[in-house]
Amino acid sequence: MTTVLPYKISVLVFIENHAGEQLLMLRAKQPNLGIWSPIGGKLEMATGESPLQCAVRETHEETGLSVREEDLHLFAMIAEKAYQGQTHWLMFLFRCKRPIDRLPPDISEGRFGFHSREAIKHLEIPETDAAALWPIFDRYRDGFVSLRADCSVSPLQITIEQVVPEK
What residues pair up with 128 in beta bridges, in sequence order? none
pLDDT reported for residue 152: 87
pLDDT reported for residue 64: 95
Structural domain contains residue 1: no
Helix residue spans in 20-105 (DSSP H): 51-63
Average pLDDT of the chain to the nearest whole number: 93
If one compares 94 and 130, the residue with the highest pLDDT of the two is: 94
Say how far apart CA 130 and CA 89 lie, in whole Å. 17
Domain count for the chain, please give it.
1
96-116 residue pLDDT tens: 999 999 999 999 999 999 999
pLDDT beyond 80 at 91: yes
CA atoms within 13 A on the CB side of 97: 9
What residues pair up with 89 in beta bridges, in sequence order? 8, 80
Lowest mean pLDDT among 18-27, 56-65, 109-118, 131-140: 131-140
Pairing of strands 22-27, 7-14: unpaired
Q: What share of the chain is helix, strand, coil (3-state, %, to 5)?
A: 20, 40, 40
Structural domain contains residue 52: yes
Neighbours of 34 (CB within 10 A): 11
Structural domain contains residue 2: no
pLDDT reported for residue 2: 63
CB 62 within 8 A of CB 55: no
Amino acid at site 150 = D
If one compares 127 and 141, the residue with the highest pLDDT of the two is: 141
CATH for 43: 3.90.79.10
Say how far apart CA 66 and CA 10 lie, in whole Å. 19
pLDDT reported for residue 166: 83
Q: What is the mean pLDDT of residues 26-36?
A: 91
Question: At 164, is the pLDDT very low, low, confident or very high (cuts 50, 70, 90)?
Answer: very high
Q: What is the domain extent for residue 120?
A: 7-164
